[in-house]
């Protein structure tokens, strides 16, 4: 297991990089006419900003920690540092634009997601939604925070009693809805009431 000192060091290193990645996301968010490519299907898209942010993060990490590995959404660093599975080596898990469809459409539910696993155990996570000015952070055994304030999970224990937001492209949403969930909202549902 990674020591608390190592986790703190890596967190302190990553936090300003996550902030800068958020600035890059905002830059692209405001841009009209983004470069869009289809990866595997019409709903699986990537923008030039996905690649730009992932490349930025990987370059910065490798400059300081050349032995670290990566699992990236876009796999822009096509080299021996990219892996598809966790190993014992420190491995950064990066989704440079989590919510690319929202990013393209300028819907504010978009973020930079960064996690770190050491010895196959997740030890830290940073999620930056610069559009909504929210930075979510956590460290192993250290709690979870939004903009530095402690957060916690809901006390609702049954999914049938929960309100769940989902992405329309969720292919099997009707199966989940019909079987388990009393009310499912999607973005914009409340605007029609």
pLDDT digits (tens, 9 = 90+) for 136-187: 999 999 999 999 999 998 999 998 888 877 665 555 555 555 555 555 555 5
Torsion sign over Cα 163, 25, 91, 42: positive
DSSP letter, residue 82 = B
CA dist 88 to 44, 45, 69, 119, Å? 30, 31, 10, 4
pTM of the model: 0.81
Helix (H) or strand (E) holding 113: strand 111-118
Nearest in space to 80 (alpha carbons), one of 94, 62, 53, 54: 62
Average pLDDT, the chain: 84
- Residue ranges for the known binding site are 73, 95, 97-98
CB 186 within 8 A of CB 166: yes
| CA–CA dist 183, 148 (Å, integer) | 31
d(CA 176, CA 189): 18
% of the chain residues with pLDDT over 90 = 58
Does residue 16 register a pLDDT over 60? yes
pLDDT over threshold 70, residue 107: yes
Higher pLDDT among residues 37 and 42, named by residue: 37
Q: Percent of the chain at pLDDT above 70? A: 77
Please, where are the H alpha helices in 31-145?
A: 48-64, 100-105
Asked if residue 12 has pLDDT above 90, the reply is yes
**Domain ranges across the chain:** 4-150, 159-189
- Out of 1-5, 42-46, 103-107, 129-133, least confident range: 42-46
- Bridge partners (DSSP) of residue 150 are 145
Query: In the CATH hierarchy, which fold is given to the domain comprising 4-150?
Result: Fructose-1,6-Bisphosphatase; Chain A, domain 1 (3.30.540)
Q: How far apart are CA 54 and CA 128, in angstroms?
A: 14
| Cβ within 8 Å of residue 36, ≥6 positions away | 45, 46, 47, 104
Average pLDDT value for residue range 106-127 = 96
Q: What's the rounded mean pLDDT across residues 18-37?
A: 88
Average of per-residue pLDDT across 59-75: 89
Residues belonging to the binding site for Mg(2+) are 73, 95, 97-98
């Amino acid at each position: 297991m990674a020591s608390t000192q190592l986790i703190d060091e890596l967190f302190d290193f990553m936090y300003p990089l996550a902030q800068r990645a958020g600035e890059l996301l905002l830059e692209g968010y405001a841009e009209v006419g983004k470069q869009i490519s289809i990866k595997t299907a019409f709903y699986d898209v990537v923008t030039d900003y996905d690649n730009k942010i992932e490349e930025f993060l990987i370059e910065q990490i490798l400059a300081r920690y050349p032995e670290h590995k990566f699992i990236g959404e876009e796999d822009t660093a096509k080299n021996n540092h990219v892996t598809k599975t966790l190993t014992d080596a420190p491995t950064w898990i990066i989704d440079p634009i989590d919510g690319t469809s929202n990013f393209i459409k300028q819907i504010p539910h978009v973020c930079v997601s960064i996690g770190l696993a050491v010895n196959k155990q997740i030890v830290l996570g940073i999620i930056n939604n610069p559009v909504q000015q929210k930075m979510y952070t956590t460290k192993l055994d250290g709690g979870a925070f939004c903009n530095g304030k402690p957060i916690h999970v809901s006390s609702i224990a049954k999914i049938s009693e929960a309100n769940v937001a989902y992405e329309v492209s969720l292919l099997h949403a009707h199966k989940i809805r019909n079987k388990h969930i009393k009310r499912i909202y999607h973005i914009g549902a409340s605007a029609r009431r």
